[in-house]
Chains A and B, each alone.
Chain A
C-alpha cells in the first residue's frame, strides 16, 4: 500500500547512496551534497577518492583531514605554482646576506627549515593515509625524498617539472621514488623535464620497482632529444612487465644509435606483453606545428631506419598490441604491407597513429589493402601521408567499420569528396574528427565534408583557413562528381542519410549558403546537434569570425572550445578586421570552457619597430569580445617574444579578461605583473586563479621578476579573502 509520503532519496540504504555519490564527478556538486546532513557528509567523504589540493599551504595544520579515503592525490597545483616552499629548503636570498631571516618577518615569505619539511610530509601522510596515486611537482629530489616514504604502497606516480633540471647525478630525480615504492605500477613523466640519460640508470638501480612497472610514460614535450637505441634497450631490459610504453626516440638515421628495426625487435623481445606502444620523434611533441613547404609534398629527404619488413616482425612479436603510435619525421616506405600484418598479427588493435608512413592505404584496386584491413580499429590518426587519396579514405571506411575517431594531418591529396564519403559510410560510429594541415581542405570544405555526420559528431578540429585561392573547384561540381563514383550500396547509404538529415530546425536564415546538390541546408541552419568540443587552429593574423558562415551555424551543445593561434606576428600582414572575433562565439549558448592558446604566436614584446604591432596590441586584437561570452573557465597562453623569452599578459589583455562577468576559473600560462592581477579581484565570481608557467624552461623566481612568489601569495590572499556569493 503506498503511503501518502513520497519516497525520499534519504531512505536509500547506505551502500546504494555511496554508489550514487561515487558516480558524481563534479566537485562542487559533491561539496553541496556534503553540506546536506551528517550522514550524507560521511558517505560523500567515503566515496571521495580523488582530490586535487589547491591553495597555498603555508602552515601544515591547514591541510584538510576530512578526506581520509582519498586514493588519488594531486599536489602539483599547489600555490605558488612550481614552488613547494614547505617541502624545499630555500636558498639564501642575497649573496651578501647569508644570515637567515626570522620566520615571522613577513607572512608571505617562505623559509622553512629542514625538519619542518618532515613534519609537513608526515602530516600529509596522516591526512591521506590511503593514497595510491600521487601527482606532485618535483622541483628537485628532496621533495620525493620526503614524500615517497609516506606511502610505500604507492602504485601510480606522476611527476611534474617545467623548471630546469638541477645539477645532480644521473637518475637522482627518480631514485627516492623508486626506492621507497617498490610496488609502483605506473610512472608518468610526460610533464617532467629531465634528461634521457636519467631514466635507465634509475631503473637499473631499483630492479624491484622496475620489474613491477607496467606503465611508463616518457613523452615529455620539453625533451629535445629522444631515447637512443641503447637507452631504449636498457629500459626494456629493466622493465620486463611493461604493458604501456610511451617514449620519444631518436629515429633520425643520421644520428648515432638511432632506433631502427633491430631496436624495435629487441624491445618487443624484452617486453612481449606490450599492449600500448607509442614511439614518436621528439619534434612531434613540441607545441609548434612544423611549417611544411607546399611544394614539398610531404617528402622529407631521409627515410627512417624502420622498414615495412621490420615492422612486420615487430607486430608478430607483440600479439597483445592494442594501441600503437609511430609518429615519425622520416619516411617509412610501403607501409601498407606492414599495416596489413598489423591487422593479422595483432587482432586486438584498436588505436593507431602513424606519421610519415607512405602507402598507408593505396586502394589501387577494389580490394581492401593497407590499414583498411585492420577491421577492429576504433581510432585512427594519419599524419603526413602524402599519398593518401580519397580512394584510400573510402577503402578505410569500408574496412574499418567501427571507426569512431579519425584524425588526418598534412595529407595533401585528400579532398572534400573523400572525407564526405568516409563520413557518410561511417555514419553510425564516427564521432570524433580532426582535419588539419591538409592543403585541399580549408575550413569551409572540411565542414561541408562532414555534413553526413553533422548530427552525430561530438568532437571536431579544423584549421581556420578561410580562402584558398588555388582551389577553384566549386562546391556544386564536387558534390556532383562524388555521386558518380563508388558502389551502389554506398550511394544508397548516402541517400538514406540525406533524408535523416532534414532537421526541423527553422530559422530565418540569411547566413546559410546554398550548396549545389546538398541543398537541404539552404533553408535550414546547419545544426551540429551533438558537438561538445571544438578545436580550431588559426594562423597568426587571421580572424575567427567567418567560422559561423563557414558552416558552424548552430551548435546547441558546444561546451568547450580550444583555439590555437600560431605563427609569426612580426611578419604576417596586419589583420583585415580590427578584432579577432571572439564575440562571434556567443552564438553557442552553452559555451563555458575556453582554452585560448596564443603561445606559439611570436611577436615583439616591448620594442616593436615602427609600423609593427607589439604584443600588447595583438593581445587586444585577440581578446576583444571575450567579455561577451559567458565563460566559466578560461585557460590562456599569452603570445611570446622569443628574443626576450617572455610570455606575459599585457594591460589590455588584463582589461579584456576582466570584462568576463561569469568567469570562475582563470589559468594563465605565463607571467604577468602583480597589479595587473589585481584587476582580476574585481571580477565577482572569480574563485580560482593561477599562473602556471608550464612550458620549458619555466622562469625561475630570480630570472623573471614579473610575478614573484610573494606577489602570487599576496594576490591569492586577497582573492581568498573576498566574499563569494555562492
Chain B
C-alpha cells in the first residue's frame, strides 16, 4: 500500500501528507475567522456533525481526526512518536501551518482540550480563544486533588483493555465494551473501546499518565470551560480548579440540564448557544 511511508522520518509527516492522513476537512465561510473542532478519544470528527451546521455561515470550520481515531489508517499511528500529548500538539500546529491559519478559535473535547492547552502554551498568538469541553488536567485522584478517577477504577479500565488487547493479539476481536466497566468510568471509556486495542491501551496510558496541573499557569489565552451538570469522569471541582489555575481570563459555563461526557453528541442544542456566546465575546 503506497502512501503510508510518510511518517518514518523524525518529525512526523509533512504538512500536506498530514492533511490527508488526518482527514482534515475545511467547511464553511472562507472569509471568516477559523474555528478548529477537535474531538476526544474514541470518536472522530463526525461527532461534531450536529454542531457544524450552526457555525458554517459565520466561521471557517476546520475538522480533523486525531491520529488515534477510528477513521485514520491505523498504520499511521507511530508508537514511538505519540508517547506523550506533545506529538498530538505537533500535529495540530502542523495542520494550522499547512492551512496557513494564523489565528483561530479552538474547541476541544476531553483529551483535545488538553492538547489545546498545550498548543496555546507553545503558540499563544495562534489561538484567539480556547473552548474546553469535558476538560481535565489530570484524571487520577491525588491527595488534595480530586480528578475523578481513583486508582482502582483506572486499573479496572486498563485491565479490561489489557484483556481486549490480548484477545486482539491472538486474533479474536474482543467482546468487552465500554459499558462493562464500572459506572464511574463508563461514559468516559465507552468510546475508548472503539479504537484498535493496542492503540487504545497506548492512548489510555498516555492520557492517564498526563498531568498538566503544573503548566496551567502558562496559558495566556482566554478560555471557556464547558461542563455538563453531571459528568462522572470530570467532576465540577476540576472545572473550578481549572478556572483558578489557568493563566488567561477564564469562565465556566455549566450546561445545567445535561449530563454525560459527550454533550456535543447527546445535547447539541444546549451546547450550541454556549459556544456561540463564548465565541462572540
B266 to chain A, nearest CB (A): 4
**Chain B: minimal CB distance from A614 (Å):** 6
- A614 and B194 CA atoms in complex are apart in Å by 13
Judged by a CB distance under 8 angstroms, whether B177 is at the interface is: yes
- Of the candidate stretches A492-500, A629-637, A649-657, the one touching chain B is A649-657
B174 adjacent to A708 (CB under 8 Å) = no
Q: Which of A172-180, A218-226, A670-678 contacts B (4 or more CB under 8 A)?
A: A670-678
Give bound CA distance, A610 to B259, whole Å: 10
With a CB–CB cut-off of 8 A, which chain B residues contact A650? Answer: 177, 194
Question: Residue B44 at the A interface, CB < 8 A?
Answer: yes
The contact of A702 among B25, B176, B179, by CB within 8 Å, is B25
User: Which of the residues B100, B190, B196, B266 comes within 8 Å of A675, measured between beta carbons?
Assistant: B196
* B44 closest partner in A (C-beta): A705
- What CA separation (Å) do A682 and B173 show in the bound complex? 10
Q: Could you tell me the distance between the alpha carbons of A610 and B190 in the complex, rounded to whole angstroms?
A: 13
Central interface residue in B2, B23, B24, B194, by most chain A CB within 10 Å:
B194
Chain B contacts with A in 82-109, Cβ cutoff 8 A:
99-100
Q: B70 near A674 (CB under 8 angstroms)? A: yes
Q: How far is the CA of A682 from the CA of B71 in the complex (A)?
A: 20
Report if A52 contacts B (CB, 8 A): no
A94 to B265, CA, bound (A): 25
Kindly provide the distance from the CB of A34 to the nearest chain B CB, expressed in whole angstroms.
32
CB within 8 Å of B: which A622-662 residues: 644, 650-652, 654-656, 658-659
- Chain A's nearest CB lies how many Å from the CB of B141? 22
Picked from B2, B43, B44, the residue with its CB within 8 Å of the CB of A107 is B2
User: Does A284 sit at the interface, judged by CB under 8 A?
Assistant: no
Q: Shortest distance in angstroms between B230's beta carbon and chain A's nearest beta carbon?
A: 9
Determine whether A722 belongs to the interface, using a CB cutoff of 8 Å to chain B.
no
A703 to B96, CA, bound (A): 22
Question: How far is the CB of B200 from the nearest CB of chain A, in Å?
Answer: 10
Query: Interface code B1-43, partner A: CB below 8 Å = 1, 0 otherwise?
Result: 1110000000000000001100111110010000000000001
Give complex CA distance A610, B73 in Å: 33
Is the Cβ of B262 less than 8 Å from the Cβ of A606?
yes
Partner of B177, one of A609, A620, A675: A620
A644 near B177: Cβ-Cβ < 8 Å: no
Contact A652 B196 (CB under 8 A): no
- Shortest Cβ gap from B259 to chain A (Å): 8
- B209 contact set on A, CB distance < 8 A: none
Known: A95-B30, A617-B177, A655-B174. A675 touches B2 (CB 8 A): no
A613 CB–B CB distance under 8 Å? yes
Q: Check A333 for interface membership: any CB of B closer than 8 A.
A: no
Q: Which residue from B3, B50, B187, B194 sits with its C-beta under 8 Å from A105?
A: B3
**Which residue of B is nearest A651, CB measured?**
B193
Q: In the bound complex, what is the Cα–Cα distance between A271 and B196 (angstroms)?
A: 59
**Contact status B177-A705, CB under 8 Å:** no
B1 touches A703 (CB 8 A): no
Closest to B74 in A: A675
In the complex, are the beta carbons of A658 and B173 less than 8 A apart? yes
Choice from A106, A608, A658, A678 contacting B3 with Cβ under 8 Å: A106
State how many angstroms separate the Cβ of A644 from the closest Cβ of chain B. 6
B187 neighbours in A (Cβ, 8 Å): 607
Is A706 located at the chain interface by the 8 A CB criterion?
yes
User: Whole-angstrom distance from the CB of A209 to the nearest CB of chain B?
Assistant: 40
Q: How far is the CA of A714 from the CA of B21 in the complex (A)?
A: 13
Report Cα–Cα, A392/B177, bound state, in Å: 52
Inter-chain contact A607/B3, CB cutoff 8 Å: no
CB neighbors of A among B115-153 (8 A): none
A651 B194 Cβ-Cβ under 8 A: yes
Instruction: Give chain B nearest CB distance to A189 CB in angstroms.
Output: 29
Residues in B whose Cβ lies below 8 Å from that of A613: 179
Q: Given A652-B175, A674-B70, do A96 and B26 touch, yes or no (CB 8 Å)?
A: yes
In the complex, what's the smallest C-beta–C-beta distance from B41 to chain A, in angstroms?
Answer: 12
In the complex, A434 has a CB within 8 A of chain B: no
- A705 adjacent to B175 (CB under 8 Å): no
Residue B235 at the chain A interface, CB threshold 8 Å:
no
Contacts of A679 in B (CB 8 A): 173
Q: Mark A700-717, 1 if CB is under 8 A from B, else 0.
A: 001111111011001001
- Asked whether any CB of chain A lies closer than 8 Å to the CB of B214, the reply is no
Instruction: Determine whether B237 belongs to the interface, using a CB cutoff of 8 Å to chain A.
Output: no
Say if the beta carbon of B159 comes within 8 Å of chain A.
no
Q: Is the CB of A108 within 8 A of B65?
A: no
Chain A residues 291-338 with CB under 8 Å of chain B are none
- Whether A94 touches B19, Cβ cut-off 8 Å, given contacts A651-B177, A704-B46, is yes
B:156-186 near A, CB below 8 Å: 167, 171-179, 183
Partner of B190, one of A95, A614, A674, A706: A614
Contact in complex: A711, B179 (CB < 8 Å): no
Complex interface: chain B residues within 8 A of A617 (CB): 177, 179
Shortest Cβ gap from B117 to chain A (Å): 25
- Give the residue name and chain of the B residue nearest to A645 (CB): B49
Cβ–Cβ contact A616 & B70, under 8 A: no
A674 near B171 with CB under 8 A, answer: no
The residue in A614, A705, A706 that gathers the most chain B C-beta atoms within 10 A of its C-beta is: A705
Chain A CB within 8 A of B251 CB: no
Does any Cβ of A come within 8 Å of B195's Cβ? yes
Instruction: Flag whether B110 is at the interface (Cβ < 8 A).
Output: no
A–B Cβ pairs within 8 angstroms, 17 of them: A96-B100, A108-B2, A606-B190, A608-B179, A617-B177, A620-B175, A620-B177, A644-B49, A652-B176, A655-B172, A655-B175, A658-B172, A676-B173, A704-B46, A705-B44, A706-B70, A708-B23
Q: Top 6 closest A-B pairs, CB basis?
A: A655-B173, A673-B70, A106-B3, A607-B266, A679-B173, A705-B71
Q: A703-B49, A708-B71, A714-B1 are in contact. List 13 more A-B contacts (CB 8 A).
A: A607-B261, A607-B262, A607-B265, A652-B174, A652-B177, A654-B173, A655-B174, A655-B175, A674-B70, A674-B71, A675-B195, A706-B44, A714-B73
